[in-house]
Chain A
Amino acid sequence: MKWANVRLFAWHFWHNATKPRTFYLLYLIFLLLAAYAAVSGIQNHIAQNDIRKFHQEKARQSWEANPDKHPHRMAHFGTFAFRVNPPLGMFDHGLESFTGNTVFLEAHRQNSVNFSDATFSTGTLRFGELSIALLLQLVLPLILFFIGFSGIAADRENGTLKIVLSQGANWLEMILGKSLGLCGVALLFVAPILLVVIVVLIGYGAEVESDLLWLRLLIIGLGYMLFLFIVSTVAIIVSASSNTPKNALLRLLGIWLLLVVLLPKSAQALGNYWYPTPSKLAFQSAIEKEKIQTGDSHNPDDPFYNQLRDSVLAVHKVSEVTDLPFNYSGFVMREGEKISSELYKKHHADLLDIYESQNNITRFLALVNPYMAIKQLSMTFSGTDFSSYVDFQEQADTYRYQLSQKMNELQMVYISPKKKSGSEGKTHVVGHEHWEEFPDFHHRPMAFGNSFKAALPALVSMIVWLLFIFWLMMFTSKKAKAI
């Protein structure tokens, strides 16, 4: 294989593809769309984060404004955890619109994460969301197919293919060269977009923290290049193995529809079919059932709590809970919180396992579908994928647990042991300085290492695809016929 020939093919293809006026029209439309997507993405990112930040502060202000009161009242006063939109969320919206934004955190109750954009949408959201990522994943491959379908098939139809091959070029040089040429065209589309993303990130992105932002962007950028190279090569290979350009176009469109629309949708539908999500009632009542079995702090005759009380009394060598050196109700609540949180965590982990099983079909189909691989990769490194959402949920629940236990401990220490119950009004209170002492919820971005782990299947399948595409090039170049 002569590199000079490859270069010649690449340059020639690039030159031919970018010469016609229709190309510039297409290019202009794409750039305008990208600009619209970028502007709305940036504005949405800024507006959403402003809204969430404002409300996080507002919720905090009213938390701190509480007077001296019984700590259990504060445990139920609770607070809110607002999800922060990661900087790269303006580039790839991922699951942002489908995951809730905020969760109310209170003692012994795990509330759902509510107010996703999907719940406030008319249903038109399901047509898709306009983001720069969507343009790169869905529209650009189609454009590359439109440009590349006649790459070799047209030469075959008008007879120039024979001439070119008889003049010393070989098939591999031609396929690789034209693929690189088409990939060069793709670069024309990608470069300005990445440039804009970089500029915007420098301008606005720095306001929201993100773990290793630039490395994330680098991986995403390289991922898209690889993806577009794969797409370009597929276009040229299909063109090389089709008799007429029309056939090549039809096949490419079939491939696009299969990879971009049908496979992803059916993969998720299949996962949903095979691993059904339990109903909320089944989920909640399973937890409730187990809670009753281990011990129900609300039941006065509960054997578990009676035993707990007796052992605590024995250790402190007293006969009544009011003689203990600490507030017993606070102690019971602390133990109860520990048990119920563990239980919830266990069941929630099971639920997440079901979701993971559903999503795994999509994840494994990435091995045969580079579109799904780049989609996963892009979402994950942008911090808008499923794992980032779970990460937020866990942060919020950990904070909820700490808050409840802190309040229970305040109750144990500061509320008179003589007092059994009653948490209203101005008696049996703890100083309000404790409210300020407890730090506010702060949504930390997902660690890069975790994103990397989540994206590993996608990364592997991208590399497998790269190897496969080179093999396919070799294979086609041996099989292809000039006529």
Chain B
Amino acid sequence: MKYRLFLYQCLRSKEVRISLLLITVLGIIGIVIGNRQLARQQEAIAEVKAYQEQHFERHVSLHNDDLGLLLYYVKFAFINPSNPLAGLSIGQADVNPVVKRITIKTFEAQKYDTDLVNPMNLQSGNLDLSFVLIFLLPLLAIVLTFNVISEETETGTWRLVAIQAKSKLGFILAKLSVRLLLLFGILVVLFVIAKLVLDIPLDANFLLLFVLTLLYVTFWFALSFFVISFKKSSGFNALLLLSIWLVMIVLLPAGINAYVSFKYPVPEALSAAIAQRDGYHTKWDMDKLATLKKFYAHYPQFREYGYPTEGFNWLWYYAMQQMGDDDSREEQAALLAKIKLREQTSRSMASLLPNMHVQLVFNQLAGTSSEQHIDFLNATEAFHEKLRLYFYPRIFEGDKAETIDWEQFVPEYHQTNTIIKPLWAIMPLLLATAFMALLSIPGARRL
């Protein structure tokens, strides 16, 4: 009975009803946008699967006699399929390509090639469900809670409560829990819609994502309780909570980001690009023997093809291409180390800030984090290496293109690892919520 009254009281306010409706609508829009993103990725994958076969046919017919020349042109697709959760948290999937098409030439020159992207879209960011949950849900939590105590004093009912309620704290907590359950209800609705629209399997990752969202909302309720327990006016509470929202959601992440990119700039990316170019191109006017020796040092198994130094030959050509990768190893390693450092720094800072932490874990679960993209790049490199090792001997033998079974080269898929330790994902939120609860104890006693 009490709870139904509380619910009625909460829903009586026009602002509350509008904001509840708004968050639901925005959540659905977010799901639709995520679905669209997934569909587009599926289209790109379907396209490349249909295209690859005719691409091979055309080049095989043009260069049947010259396998070396053929492999100068043909591209092999390697696909990073997105899992349905990527529709909830698009993360870095908008800037990183889903499909990589590579030749067996220098890998480094192809590694960081981007997709076609409109930078304005990247800047404004995606309006996916994760945005609604992480950025806007706290606002709703604030709207629902900021006057839970002050309203009673401002309308003069606090004295009645003080006399009639068994415990004032219990009374306030009951009021809050009704609101929290109301939000949970909306979240359940949104997640059910997401599950149906995006066809998400009911697995551990989806469950973890849902639990994280619930904990995240609970954290904001705890924070709000801390603020309102000072029994200031509604206006003051609203102002303070919104300022906290602004600082936590906008200013701190932006500041952390500015710090990370200023502390760890990545000139290594540019050095690696230049080293890669020089590694390959300068070999054209160097001693062929030296290039071949370097190549055999890397691949002793090909020594049998000897040291042809007269005129042009593909063995030497692909040895030169190989040098683009080999000669830029140092710079590449430096770049990767720098990226790791950036990752670690922002990750450890993020674990102190619930919203950043939740965003990063969401992306991890959805397979759209930058770390997973680096994994994909590494897998692409392995795929590239496999192609090289398959084709090198055939080119060096002077095989004809028709002797190769081209049908075996269908686009390959990368398996993204989205498994994370639930405890690690949940702990920062539990700690942050517990911390807020602890801070609230003196205020709760004074109620």
Contacts and interface: CB of A to CB of B under 8 A. Distances in A.
B385 interface: no
Contacts of A189: none
A176 B321 CA distance: 71
A452 to B, nearest CB: 19
A480 interface: no
Given A121-B261, A128-B253, A425 B285 contact: yes
Contacts of A271: 121
A100 B109 contact: no
A122 B261 contact: no
B235 A129 contact: no
Contact of B115 (A257, A280, A355): A280
B274 interface: yes
Interface stretch (B42-50, B293-301, B415-423): B42-50
Contact of B95 (A118, A146, A285): A118
Given A67-B285, A118-B95, A58 B274 contact: yes
Contact of B47 (A43, A95, A279, A424): A279
A101 B270 contact: yes
Contacts of A99: 119
A124 B257 contact: yes
B120 A358 contact: yes
Given A44-B262, A124-B360, A355 B118 contact: yes
Interface string B122-139: 111111000100011001
A55 B267 contact: yes
A36 interface: yes
Contact of B258 (A37, A52, A269, A298): A37
Q: How large is the interface on A (under 10, 10 to 19, 20 to 34, 35 or more residues)?
A: 35 or more
Nearest to B254: A130
Nearest to A268: B124
Nearest to B278: A62
Interface in B255-314: 255-259, 261-262, 265-267, 269-271, 273-274, 277-278, 281-282, 284-285, 288, 311-312
B15 interface: yes
Nearest to A272: B121
A281 B101 CA distance: 9
Nearest to A300: B62
Interface in A66-120: 66-67, 69, 73, 76-78, 80, 82, 94-95, 97-102, 104, 111-120
Most A Cβ at <10 Å: residue of B238, B261, B282, B369: B261
A116 B94 CA distance: 13
Interface string A10-54: 000000000000000000000001001100110110011001101
Contacts of B355: 127
A2 interface: no
B40 interface: yes
Interface in B341-398: 342-343, 346-347, 350, 355-356, 359-360, 363, 368-371
A386 B270 contact: no
A127 B273 contact: no
A123 B363 contact: yes
A41 to B, nearest CB: 8
Contact of B125 (A36, A59, A126): A126
A399 B274 CA distance: 18
A118 B231 CA distance: 43
A82 B127 contact: no
Contacts of A37: 258
A389 interface: yes
A265 B360 contact: no
Given A129-B257, A285-B51, A120 B266 contact: yes
Contacts of B114: 100, 112-114, 116, 119
A28 to B, nearest CB: 14
A246 interface: yes
A54 B271 CA distance: 10
Contacts of A223: none
Contact of B120 (A67, A73, A276, A362): A362
A122 B121 contact: no
A281 to B, nearest CB: 5
B5 interface: no
A77 B253 CA distance: 41
B33 to A, nearest CB: 6
Interface residues of B, number: 90
A299 interface: yes
Contacts of B109: 104
B112 A121 contact: no
B91 interface: yes
Interface in A252-283: 253, 257, 261-262, 264-269, 271-273, 276-283
B312 A424 contact: yes
A424 B285 CA distance: 7
A94 B119 CA distance: 10
Contacts of A67: 285
Contact of A115 (B44, B112, B363): B112
A317 interface: no
A422 to B, nearest CB: 6
A265 B273 contact: no
A358 B51 CA distance: 27
A324 interface: no
Interface stretch (A134-142, A207-215, A306-314, A462-470): A134-142
B3 to A, nearest CB: 26
A116 B284 CA distance: 31
A480 B92 CA distance: 49
B29 interface: yes
B242 interface: yes
B160 interface: no
A264 B124 contact: yes
A98 B369 contact: no
B261 A44 contact: yes
A407 interface: no
Contact of B33 (A52, A273, A358): A273
A80 B271 CA distance: 11
A359 interface: yes
Given A116-B95, A359-B120, A124 B112 contact: no
A386 B119 contact: yes
Given A82-B270, A124-B359, A362-B124, A40 B281 contact: no
B120 A95 contact: yes
A282 B355 CA distance: 37
Contacts of A422: 311-312
B249 interface: yes
Given A99-B119, A124-B346, A280 B254 contact: no
Nearest to B125: A126
A101 B343 CA distance: 20
Interface in A275-302: 276-283, 285, 298-299
A104 B273 contact: yes
B251 interface: yes
B116 A120 contact: no
Contacts of B443: none
8 contacts: A62-B278, A102-B273, A115-B266, A115-B273, A127-B249, A265-B125, A268-B120, A424-B285
Interface of B: 15, 26, 29, 33, 36, 40, 43-44, 47-48, 51, 62, 91-92, 95-97, 99, 101, 109, 112-127, 131, 135-136, 139, 234-235, 238-239, 242, 246, 249-251, 253-259, 261-262, 265-267, 269-271, 273-274, 277-278, 281-282, 284-285, 288, 311-312, 339, 342-343, 346-347, 350, 355-356, 359-360, 363, 368-371
Interface of A: 33, 36-37, 40-41, 43-44, 47-48, 51-52, 54-55, 58-59, 62, 66-67, 69, 73, 76-78, 80, 82, 94-95, 97-102, 104, 111-130, 134, 138-139, 142, 146, 150, 245-246, 249-250, 253, 257, 261-262, 264-269, 271-273, 276-283, 285, 298-299, 351, 354-355, 358-359, 362, 386, 389, 422-426
Q: Which 3 A-B pairs rank lowest in CB-CB distance, beginning with the nearest?
A: A127-B253, A268-B124, A130-B254
Given A51-B267, A121-B346, A282-B47, 6 more contacts: A43-B262, A47-B265, A69-B284, A119-B370, A124-B350, A127-B257
